[in-house]
Structure 1
Amino acid sequence: MIKGLMITPPTLGRIAIGRVVEKNGKRLPIKDDQFTITSQVQTKDGWIPHPLDSALRKGDDKLRSIPIRLLFNEPDLNLRAEYSLFDRTSGRPLCVGNGETCKRVTQGGMQSLACPTPDQCEFGQSGYCKPYGRLNVVIDQDDEMGTFIFRTTGFNSIRTLAARLHYYHAVSGGLLACMPLELKLRGKSTTQSFRSAIYYVDMTIREGLSLEEAIQQAQALHQQRLQSGYDQAALDKAARQGFANGAFEDGEDEALEVIEEFYPEAHTQAQSTQSTTLANKLEQRATA
C-alpha cells in the first residue's frame, strides 16, 4: 500500500441534489428538489447520467428515494464528516478537523493542531471552512463493492444521516451493512431560508418494510454471508486502515468538484483570475 495515499471505497458514480449551470458566463451551483445519479464522466454540459438514474425513475416522476445498502457495519466508515477548508484556486485540501483536532498544511509541512470549530478558528473563518460529509452507498447489487458517493456541506443532511447510521447500527445489533435501507429526500423551511423550502437527505428503512422486518432481513443476510465465508469484520478493518493511510480523503480532482458545487463565492472569485485557476481547470477537465 502506497504510504500517504488514502484508500477509499471504489466509486461508480455520484448522487446529487443539485447541479451546476452556466449563467451569464459563470458556472453556478443551484439546488434541486430531486436526486440525480450520475456517472463519473463530466462534459462541458454537466455530468452524464448513470443508467441507474433512469432505471429508478417511475416514468417522468422526480427521483426522491433510492434503495441502498451500506458497505460497512461501522457508521463512521460509511459517512465521513469533518470541518474542511480548501484552497480557493487550486482546490487542494488545506485543513480537515473534527472539532477537537485537525490536520493542516502549513509552511512547515503537515501538522496536527487543535480544532476549535470554524466559528472560533481564525484560520477557518478566513477560508470558507464548512462541515463536509461524504456518504458511500451500494445501489447496484451487480457490484457489491462498488459504491455511489453523496457529497454535501449541508448541516441538515450530515446531522440526519449520522443519527440514522448510529441508530440503525444500534438496533440491528451492529448489522448495518445488512440492513435494507433507502435514501429519501426531505424538505423543510427555516427562518434562515426565509421560509422557502430547502432539501436534505435522510436515510430510512426501505419502503414497504417495518423496522422489525428490516432487522429480520438483516439477520438472515448476515447468516447467509457467514455461511459463504463473507468476512464483514475484515472488510471494516481494511477500510479503516485505508482511510488512515493518508492525510486527506479528497485529492485535487475531487476537491475541484467540491469547490464548484458547494463554494460558489470561491468559484466566482476564481473565474476572474489567471489561466491556472479553478475555473479554467474545471473547463479543461470537462472538455478533455
Structure 2
Amino acid sequence: MLKGFAITPPVIGRISIGRVVEKNGRRLPEKDDQFTITTQVQNREGWMLHPLNESLRRASTGKLRAIPVRFLFNDPDLNLRAEYSLFDRESGRPVCVGNGEMCRRAGDAGIEELPCPSPDGCAFGRTGNCKPYGRLNVTIGDEDELGSFIFRTTSYNSIRTLAARLHYFSAVSGNLLACLPLELRLRGKSTTQSYRSAIYYVDIGVRSGSTLEAAIAEARELDARRRTAGFDQAALDTAARAGFGNGAFEDSIEDGAAVVDEFYPAQPEGGSSTAVTDTMTERPSLKDRLEQRAALLGGAAA
C-alpha cells in the first residue's frame, strides 16, 4: 500500500442538493430543494445524471426528497468524516484539516501538526475560508454492495444531524448500522440568518412505511445471513479505518478541485463569497432587506 495516500471507499456516483452554474463569467453554487444523483462524469452542462436519479424520481412521484440507502460500515465515524477544512482555490489541494483540537497543515516544510482552535478562533482559517466539511458514503441498491455514492457538504445542519443520527441508529441497533434499511431525507427550516427563506439539510430516518422496530429486526436477519455466508463486517471496518489513516488528507487534488468549485467559490471583488448550496441561502441585498422590513411593518400596522 502506498504510504501517504488515503484509501477511501470506492465511489460510483454523487449525491447533491444543488449544482454549480456560471453567472457573469463566474462559477457559483445554486441551491435546490431536492436530491440529484449523478455519475462522476461531467460535460458542459455539469455532472451527468446517474440512471438511479430517474428511477428513484419516478418512484417518488415528484421531487426526489428521500433516497433508500444502507451504510458500508458499522462504525458511524467511517461512514461520515467531518473536519474543519481549508483548500487552495487554485490547485484544489487540501491545505489544512483539523478537528477543533489538532490540525494537519501543508507548508513549505511539509505536513505539520498544529493546534486547531476551530475557524472562529484561527487567523489562518479566517483568511483562507476554513469551514466544516463532511463526506458521507452510502450504498444505493444492490448492484455494487461495496461501491458507494458520496454526499459532500459544508452545512452545519447536515453534518450535525447526520452525525447524531448515525450514532443513535448504531446504538439502538446493537452496532448493526451497516445492516439497517434507512433513507436519506431532505428537510427544510428557516432561521434568522436565512431571513425566513427555507434552507435545506440532510437527515437520516427509517424508510417510509416502516418502523424502527421493523428496521432493527430486518438488520438482525441480514446480519445473521451475512455471518452464515462468511461476510466479516468487523474486518471491513478495520480495513477502512486503516485506509483512511494511510494519508494526511482524505481528498485528492482531483476531488479537491470539484469541492472548491462547489463549496469554496472565489470571492467577488469587494464582497464575500456566495453562500454554499445546502448551508445557507444567499444573503439578501440591503434593498431586499429594507423591503422585507417595510412589508413586515406594514403587515403589523394593518
TM-score > 0.5, shorter chain as reference: yes
- Supply the RMSD in Å over aligned alpha carbons: 1.3
Per the alignment, in what secondary structure is the counterpart of residue 265 of structure 1? coil
Superposed displacement of residue 183, structure 1: 0.2
What's the counterpart of residue 204 of structure 1?
205
What's the counterpart of residue 31 of structure 1?
31
Residues 64-79 of structure 1 mapped to structure 2, 5 A cutoff: 64-79=65-80
Per the alignment, in what secondary structure is the counterpart of residue 132 of structure 2? strand
What's the counterpart of residue 10 of structure 1?
10
Inter-partner Cα distance in structure 2 for 1:158 and 1:180: 20
Inter-partner Cα distance in structure 1 for 2:87 and 2:216: 40
Superposed displacement of residue 265, structure 1: 3.1
What's the counterpart of residue 45 of structure 2?
45
What's the counterpart of residue 139 of structure 1?
140
CA contact (8 A) 2:95 2:106 kept: yes
Inter-partner Cα distance in structure 2 for 1:268 and 1:235: 48
Inter-partner Cα distance in structure 1 for 2:41 and 2:154: 22
Amino acid in the other structure paired with 2:10:
P
CA contact (8 A) 1:101 1:112 kept: yes
Residue 154 (1) aligns with residue 155 (2): yes
Amino acid in the other structure paired with 1:4:
G
Superposed displacement of residue 268, structure 1: 8.3
What's the counterpart of residue 238 of structure 2?
237
Equivalent pairs counted in the alignment come to: 269
Amino acid in the other structure paired with 1:220:
E
Superposed displacement of residue 263, structure 1: 1.6
What's the counterpart of residue 219 of structure 1?
220
Residues 35-184 of structure 1 mapped to structure 2, 5 A cutoff: 35-58=35-58, 61-184=62-185
Inter-partner Cα distance in structure 2 for 1:267 and 1:241: 41
Inter-partner Cα distance in structure 1 for 2:84 and 2:137: 18
Unaligned runs of 5+ in 1: 270-288
Per the alignment, in what secondary structure is the counterpart of residue 57 of structure 1? helix
Q: Deviations over 1:122-143 (max 9, x none)?
A: 1111100000000000003111
Structure 1 stretches of 4+ with a deviation exceeding 2 A read: 264-269
Amino acid in the other structure paired with 2:30:
I
CA contact (8 A) 2:89 2:266 kept: no
Unaligned runs of 5+ in 2: 271-302
Cα gap change, 1:103 to 1:180, in 2 (>3 Å):
same
Superposed displacement of residue 266, structure 1: 4.6
Amino acid in the other structure paired with 2:217:
Q
Superposed displacement of residue 211, structure 1: 0.5
Amino acid in the other structure paired with 2:93:
R
Amino acid in the other structure paired with 2:14:
R
Amino acid in the other structure paired with 1:246:
G
Give the percent of matched residue pairs that are identical in Structure 1 and Structure 2: 66
Inter-partner Cα distance in structure 2 for 1:32 and 1:26: 19
Q: TM-score when scaled to structure 1?
A: 0.91
Inter-partner Cα distance in structure 2 for 1:237 and 1:18: 33
What's the counterpart of residue 284 of structure 1?
none
Per the alignment, in what secondary structure is the counterpart of residue 38 of structure 1? strand
Per the alignment, in what secondary structure is the counterpart of residue 166 of structure 2? helix
Amino acid in the other structure paired with 1:73:
N
Q: TM-score when scaled to structure 2?
A: 0.87
Inter-partner Cα distance in structure 2 for 1:101 and 1:219: 38
CA contact (8 A) 1:88 1:267 kept: no
Superposed displacement of residue 58, structure 1: 2.3
